[in-house]
Amino acid sequence: MYFYRLNDKTLFSMAEYKNLDKTTEQEASRDNKIIYALKNLDPKISRRSFAVNHPSLLFIENEGLNLLTLNSSSSYKLPKWLLTKINNGQVTAINTNYKDWQKVLNTSLPSKWRINIAGLGDVGGTLLMGLRLLGADCIEEIGIYDRDFDKLKRWEFEANQISSIEEKNRPNIKILKEEEVFDCDLFAFCIATRVPAVGEEKKDVRMVQFEGNSKIVNIYANMAKKANFKGIFAVVSDPVDLLCKSAYLASNTDLCGNFDFNGLYPEQIRGYGLGVMNARALYYANKSESTSHFSTEGRVFGPHGSGLIVADSIQNYNQELSINLTEKTKNANLELRKTGFKPYIAPALSSGALSILSTIKGEWHYSATFMGGVYMGAKNRLTKQGTEIEMLDLPDSLYSRLKNTYNELSEIL
């Protein structure tokens, strides 16, 4: 191993970087702050930086489903002091194949976030209410943008009047111009061209939405690129996983169609659709004693729709129970549509407001993040060290389901 000092930070690597000033392991072990592991990964399918929550992440050569899997039988020859830092969440990995990788050394998360929402339809409006009600301790201000100025006036007027007798200094709501939408720490994309009406579910609703929504999200991804946006690009519109990938590709492709790496970093983009699938799985699981353990043992993975994976338990995985629970969860939106209503309240709050609040607070939640070129939904959290994805000792049958979904997502886009 090699150890270095750069900008008062400690770095280390498995391969030598001759252009960096070396230091000793003894000096490196004394650093009580975050230290940085330098990696040499393919930037097209790897993140610029991420949290190292397991020793195996220091040895990966490619990112993919291995970010989810925990191989407890493997042994890694690392100094005890470094293992302690990994266990304490004090190690960040940096991909030095990004030309501006050194900027990671000086990044930080805000104490209170400025959030901007684009699109004030059913989902965007409900998301706004959730953030206004629950975000007093972590949100400084919420900006809103919609092409319908009457909607903007209505939401600014009403949302700022959501108060109680003992007011908790809730975040102020302000109207934005389109050119101001990326003056924030987190941008929430809630624009949708058209949600199929009840009774029009002749093909996958998510794919119908993708056809129109991808064109718009690509426009905003390029706006983010021009604005040199460094915050979180949160996709709330469906299908979140595919729209995340579309935004990533669009922002990093020049006018000649060449990949230029000048746009959004892969870890900047997050898709918020899996939170409600967890909530729906919990709803159905609690209706039967055979699946009631899901609340403490279960997990959900993948997209918000086709390809979703519900695991009844990680410790005692039951394939039959899990597949049954998956089907109920996946079709929950169709069940609601049978009542004559579009499903948007639970998605806007469970996937949107609650998951976004957990993100900015550094708490565990469900969202889609970049895994080897695919935005895959899983339990994760955003920390000062970067994105930390929950790693699990997965049963073979569950891993096989994950692999199928992962491959399907990679083939679509």
Model pLDDT for residues 347-385, shown as the tens digit of each residue: 999 999 999 999 999 999 999 999 999 999 999 999 999
Architecture of the 274-412 domain: Alpha-Beta Complex (3.90)
Query: Residue 9 has what pLDDT?
Result: 98
**Neighbour count for residue 406 (Cβ, 10 Å):** 22
The 3-state DSSP class for residue 310 equals: strand
Query: Residue 413 has what pLDDT?
Result: 85
Query: Residue 246 has what pLDDT?
Result: 97
Query: Residue 210 has what pLDDT?
Result: 85
Alpha helices in 161-315 (DSSP H): 205-226, 240-251, 274-285, 294-297
> Going by DSSP bridges, is the β-strand pair 139-145/9-13 parallel, antiparallel, or unpaired?
unpaired
Query: Residue 392 has what pLDDT?
Result: 97
The H or E element spanning position 125 is helix 122-134
CATH topology identical between 113-271 and 274-412: no
Residues 278, 390 contacting (CB under 8 angstroms): no
Residues 11, 38 contacting (CB under 8 angstroms): yes
Note the pLDDT tens digit of each residue in 125-166: 999 999 999 999 999 999 999 999 999 999 999 999 999 988
As a whole number of angstroms, the distance between CA 91 and CA 1 comes to: 15
Q: Which stretches of the chain drop beneath a pLDDT of 70?
A: 72-75, 194-206
Parse the chain into domains and list their residue ranges. Answer: 2-106, 113-271, 274-412
CATH of 113-271, one of 3.30.1330.10, 3.30.930.10, 3.40.50.720, 1.10.760.10: 3.40.50.720
